[in-house]
Structure 1
Amino acid sequence: MHHADLRHATAPTPVIQPWDYVVMRRNAAGLSIDHLAAALGGKLFARHLRAIETPGLRFQQIARLDQVIPFSATVYRQLADLPPHQHPRLCQRCGWDAHTDQPDGHGGLITWSRTDDAICTRCEQGTAQ
């Protein structure tokens, strides 16, 4: 590869694994594992959350996180079941996807950043974890 070729090469997008997605969405909601577990129904859920956030583990079924935080079970399944080149496009900071309507904190809905296509407008505005 010539030096001129290196200028045009782009870094590969990091692969977001299913456990990363759970952590990203929980953090974006501003909740600890214990707080999310309490919102889901109690301490029993804390063990489950720790398991689904464990690197390397993929689950067929997980708690209905979408009842408490912006979360897509469909996205989780895609990340768990499909090869990386078939994964949905997600914000590299918070895990948001374009099929999830979520307020951006400034009176609108989150969309893709116009200045950095790897992140959403909420992360661009600095309001996401």
Structure 2
Amino acid sequence: MLHRHDFATATRRAPLPRRADPRPLSPSRYLILRRKAAGLSVHDLAQRMATLYLATQPRNPDEHLSHVVGTMLLVVQALELRGATARRPATIDAIAAVMPFDAAVYWQLAHTGPDRHPRICRGCGASTHDDAPVAWATKTSCTRCDPAGDGM
């Protein structure tokens, strides 16, 4: 049996427009921020990626760790170039597997307009999508990077 309710249904309002960041963060800059926040050099990240690659791929007797590290070093350096974006999701997944890095945020920065970007700290790359809640000191800085909230 259906019941008729005598209260009016709520009217739907359009979502509030999100203000685009005047200086949107690029995917390459996000990668650099997260790598530095993890305390890793480009070589450290390449080494971790190479170790993961060798642990998950069938062993090729001609493939040595130093050769794979060199290849991964070139990949990371290319991804950190201004305006660069990864072509293969597996590359970004490998980075996310070896350091605190959100692949979904990376792809959102790469494929959506600035009005759809998540809020990201310009000091460490922490975002509203991180597992640990981020407290914001300013529009572009978390309290960890700018405890006083003075805009650095």
Instruction: Please report the TM-score for the alignment, with normalisation by the length of structure 1.
Output: 0.73
Number of matched pairs: 107
Instruction: Tell me what 1:20 maps to.
Output: 29
Q: Distance in 2 between matches of 1:70 and 1:120?
A: 16
Residue 69 (1) aligns with residue 92 (2): no
What are the within-5 Å matches in structure 2 for residues 1-129 of structure 1?
13-41=22-50, 42-61=69-88, 62-63=91-92, 64-101=94-131, 109-113=132-136, 115-125=137-147
Conserved? CA contact 2:28–2:79, under 8 Å:
yes
Q: Distance in 2 between matches of 1:121 and 1:13?
A: 21
Structure 1: give runs of 5+ residues left out of the alignment. Answer: 1-11, 102-108
Q: Distance in 2 between matches of 1:43 and 1:125?
A: 38
Deviation at 1:116, TM superposition (A): 2.2
Q: Which entry has the higher C-alpha Rg, 1 or 2?
A: 2
Structure 1 pair 99–15 and aligned structure 2 pair: CA distance change class (3 A) = same
Cα RMSD, aligned residues only = 1.9
SS in 1 for 2:75: helix
Q: Distance in 2 between matches of 1:49 and 1:99?
A: 23
Deviation at 1:82, TM superposition (A): 0.7
Q: Distance in 1 between matches of 2:79 and 2:41?
A: 14
Structure 2: give runs of 5+ residues left out of the alignment. Answer: 1-20, 51-68
Structure 1 pair 69–78 and aligned structure 2 pair: CA distance change class (3 A) = same
SS in 1 for 2:124: coil
Instruction: Please report the TM-score for the alignment, with normalisation by the length of structure 2.
Output: 0.63
Deviation at 1:85, TM superposition (A): 1.1
